[in-house]
Amino acid sequence: MKKAFFLVVPLLCLGLVPLLAGGAQEKEKKVTLNAIAVNDPFWVELTKLVGDFEAKTGIAIKMEGVGYDEAYNKITLDLSSHSGNYDIVGVDTPWCPEFSEAGFLADLGPYFQKSKAELKPQDLIGLGAGEWKGVQTALPISPYIAITYYRRDLFAESGLSVPKTWEELYQTGKKLTRDTNGDGTVDQWGFAFGNAKGTCITQFWELQYLSSGGKFWKNAKTGDFTPVLDADLARKVTERFKRLLEIAPKDNVTFDWFDQVNAFSQGRVAMVNWWDVFSGDFENQEKSVIGGKWAASDSLSADGSLGPWIGPWMFAISKDSKHQEEAWKFMKWALSEETQRKLAATGATPPSIFSVLKDPTFQKVSPTAEILVRQLAKGALTWPYVKQSAKIEEEIMGLRLNQYMIGELSLDEAMSVMQQEVLAVMKK
């Protein structure tokens, strides 16, 4: 009897431990979402705001910000392995068709339908970029819209007017490329732009080509996705693209997205034409020496008549996420008017909500909102992306354009190789 007692009691105790522990765990059970995106200004600022989301919902979120290539690699590996490690993924516009076609992203349609009172589709800038074959797989969290930043002080003292076309940019840039301290070497340049191998140089070229009336495909509307990169206009734009090196710092051939912005914020160049996501950085004294000396203007185009190029960063939910409902709550919070206003107030991105962008109270505090509204009224320029877009931008055009810029390929070689390679990818 005694023996049985000494056996049974410890066993009962051992049995109770997991039960008690389980109860405690149940009490503390809290969903933690994992999100990943490129470490651009919008993501950095959004990360600072997520405490607000956690307090409101009781859902924890881990925000991981990485470089552009790393973001693509990590997201692709996670989605293709169906591990579901990431619940929310930041998707660049050209990646969306590839991930959507592969079936990696959750259909946001049903969620979106239920939340129409809070998220009005007609009010979201760049919503179409997150749609693939009629299914909404991503929503724009930061509507990257092209704009021209220029040094107000330099333009005022030289009496030059702000360029509206690419040709005017070149002519004005030549006048602003000069030796300012009289030591015989040029220390101020007119313009800086991205030239780094890969998606970076492609995007800067695309901005110029698209805003010059260029088209990528023969007839995307009828489904004819034959590339027309050997067209006369593409050649002319590419030549002009290289000519801009004459008004750029000599190391511009290595510049990536951030290098060209740094060149502007460090006072080396008078103009940059890129996404409106750096206003906050220009006013940050730790990063910039041009606080209060810059202004913005319409993004450049061939004749000044075309609207801006837009290429939003979007949020999508992994199809393998075990917390899709919670992930949707996060997306709703991130796209809420309150969060968008807070985010846009940092200067890290314009708001994704058009009514906020148009709001006069917001326009009063934003140095670029009025310009963006005026520009968007002309109609936004976008690419008809295909599922091969990420590869075309990164591997084909990103390499051949860079080779042309550094003199490894002639213009003829670069354009014809690009055309052949894109054609081959599309046929495959």
Partner 1 sequence: MPLRRSNSAGIGNYVFLLPAVIVLLAIVVFPLLFSIVASFFDIKLVNLRFTDFVGFGNYFAAFADRNFLVSLWNTVVFVLVVVSLEFVVGMLLALLASAPIPAVAVLRVSFLLPTVLAPVVVGLMWRYMLFKGHGVLSFLLAVLGLEPETGILGNIVLSKIAIYLTDIWEWSGFMALIFVAGMMGISTELYEAARVDGASRVQIFWRITLPVLRPTILIAVIIRSMDSFCVYDIIYAITRGGPGMSTTSVSYQIYRTAIRNSELGYGSALSWIVTVIVIIMSLVYIRVAYRRQEL
Instruction: Annotate each residue in 232-251 with x if it binds partner 1 (CB under 8 A) or - if it does not, as one string.
Output: ------------------xx
Tokens of 231: 């067209």
Instruction: Annotate each residue in 95-124 with x if it binds partner 1 (CB under 8 A) or - if it does not, as one string.
Output: ---xx--x-x--------------------
CA gap 141, 393 in Å, rounded: 22
**Which stretch in 36-44, 119-127, 151-159, 402-410 sits in contact with partner 1 by CB under 8 A?**
402-410
- Output 189 or 328, the one with its CB closest to partner 1: 189
Nearest to 194 by CA among 143, 146, 153: 146
Of 209, 402, 418, 419, the one binding partner 1 (CB under 8 A) is 402
Q: Does 408 bind partner 1 (CB under 8 A)?
A: yes
In the structure, how many helices (H) and strands (E) does the chain have?
Answer: 19, 13
Q: Which of residues 60-89 bind partner 1 (CB under 8 A)?
A: 69, 72-73, 76-77, 79-80
Instruction: Annotate each residue in 260-299 with x if it binds partner 1 (CB under 8 A) or - if it does not, as one string.
Output: ----------------------------------------
| Minimum CB–partner distance for residue 186 and partner 1 (Å) | 10
CA gap 294, 406 in Å, rounded: 31
CA gap 248, 254 in Å, rounded: 12
Amino acid at 193: F
Interior angle at CA 360, CA 285 and CA 381, nearest 5: 80
CA gap 9, 275 in Å, rounded: 70
Q: Does 420 bind partner 1 (CB under 8 A)?
A: no
Tokens of 220: 């995307």
Q: Locate tokens 């710092």: which residue? A: 249
Q: Does 424 bind partner 1 (CB under 8 A)?
A: no
| Minimum CB–partner distance for residue 150 and partner 1 (Å) | 22
CA gap 13, 116 in Å, rounded: 53
Q: Which residues bind partner 1 (CB under 8 A)?
A: 69, 72-73, 76-77, 79-80, 98-99, 102, 104, 196-198, 250-251, 253-254, 391, 394-395, 399, 402-403, 406-409
